[in-house]
Amino acid sequence: MNGLSLRKLFVKTLALFTVIRGYNIAMLVLAQYMASLFIFNEGKSHLQILLDQNLNFIIIASALSAAAGYIINNFYDLEKDAISRPLQNYIERFISQNFKLNVYLALNILALGIAYLVSWRVALFFLVYQFLVWFYSHKANKITLLNNLYSVILMVFPFFALFLYYENFSAIIFFHAGFLLLLLLITDILKDLTTSTADAIYHYHTFPVIYGEKTTKIILTILMILTFGWSIFMWTDSATGYMKYFFLFSAGLNILLLFPLWNSHSKTTHKILHLTFKLLIGFGIFNMVFIDINPLALQKII
């Protein structure tokens, strides 16, 4: 293979990685493993969990289905992304729409096949998930309010597979899920602030387009204050272990970020806020390890 072919292959691989949102997929996989190890776990050693074949199949199926979802969303949003994400859109155009559709179908089929190795019920679960993702890209992402709630539910949907697999419905799990939902909803609405120009041109009925920037910021303020209160509650809960300090940090950050939210109207500030909340979610995923840090729990590592 000559240098030109290698460069072409590299560019196409980079384009596909951009389309499937490689960072988001990596965070999803990491979050599922961390949740299995430190939240859903009820007595098994960490090594037992990591070597659990069915769990690995569920997480692989989740990653493949989510990657396929990003592809079909990119397929429908290609023109809008040319305005809101010009650099990424330029890279993504190195692969054709037909190629995207073929990869989308292949990933979904492969995900269903892997899920079926666990059980037909798991395969059915991911078939429903794949349909919901397609429906969001095809129709729901242009409907005001529904688009944000629908998007956030899809982001956490793969975790429902863990709920069903572990059959662990303790209260602390729902508190963690509620906290994550609030952060994801704030992040999704902030993203709409950064893409409001393109959304208006292509008739996406987001909060900033329909209700304006001020009303959108009022909604964000309410959500950030709710997240502050939720964080304080999680900080006082002994079941969160040393992760409670992450919740204390989250509480303070949500209040501090209200100032740049209201004091600036620039898209750059909105993008920084959006990135900050994405990083906060990633930071929270890594901090799950501190739920289990105490002398009595260290024996579960092996």
pLDDT at position 95 is 77
Residues 90 and 58 sit within 8 Å (Cβ to Cβ): no
pLDDT of 4 higher than 70: no
Residues 100 and 75 sit within 8 Å (Cβ to Cβ): yes
- Alpha-carbon torsion (38, 23, 188, 73), positive or negative: negative
Cα–Cα distance for residue pair 169/23, rounded to 1 Å? 29
Cα–Cα distance for residue pair 193/3, rounded to 1 Å? 42
pLDDT band per the 50, 70, 90 thresholds, residue 131 = very high
- The DSSP string of 144-205 is TTHHHHHHHHHHHHHHHHHHHHHT---HHHHHHHHHHHHHHHHHHHHHHHHTHHHHHHTT--
Residues 194 and 228 sit within 8 Å (Cβ to Cβ): no
pLDDT band per the 50, 70, 90 thresholds, residue 229 = very high
Higher local confidence (pLDDT), 202 or 236: 236
The b-or-e profile of 109-133 (16+ CB within 10 A means b, else e) is eebbebbbebeeebbebbbebbebb
Give the 3-state DSSP-derived string for 126-149, with helices as H, strands as E and coil as C: HHHHHHHHHHHHHCHHHCCCHHHH
Reported pTM: 0.84
* DSSP letter assigned to residue 39: T
Residue 63: phi, psi to the nearest 5? -65, -45
Other CB atoms within a 10 A radius of the CB of residue 162 amount to 20
CATH class given for the domain over 170-302: mainly alpha
Kindly report, residue by residue over 27-70, the tens digit of the pLDDT. Answer: 899 999 998 888 887 677 888 888 999 999 999 999 999 999 98
% of the chain residues with pLDDT over 90: 40
pLDDT at position 274 is 94
The boundaries of every CATH 1.10.357 domain in the chain are: 1-141
Cα–Cα distance for residue pair 234/172, rounded to 1 Å? 9
The boundaries of every CATH 1.20.120 domain in the chain are: 170-302
Single-letter code of the amino acid located at 188: D
Other CB atoms within a 10 A radius of the CB of residue 100 amount to 21
pLDDT at position 296 is 41
Higher local confidence (pLDDT), 141 or 129: 129
Cα–Cα distance for residue pair 139/51, rounded to 1 Å? 39
Cα–Cα distance for residue pair 287/94, rounded to 1 Å? 37
Residues 50 and 33 sit within 8 Å (Cβ to Cβ): yes
CATH of domain 1-141: 1.10.357
Cα–Cα distance for residue pair 241/38, rounded to 1 Å? 10
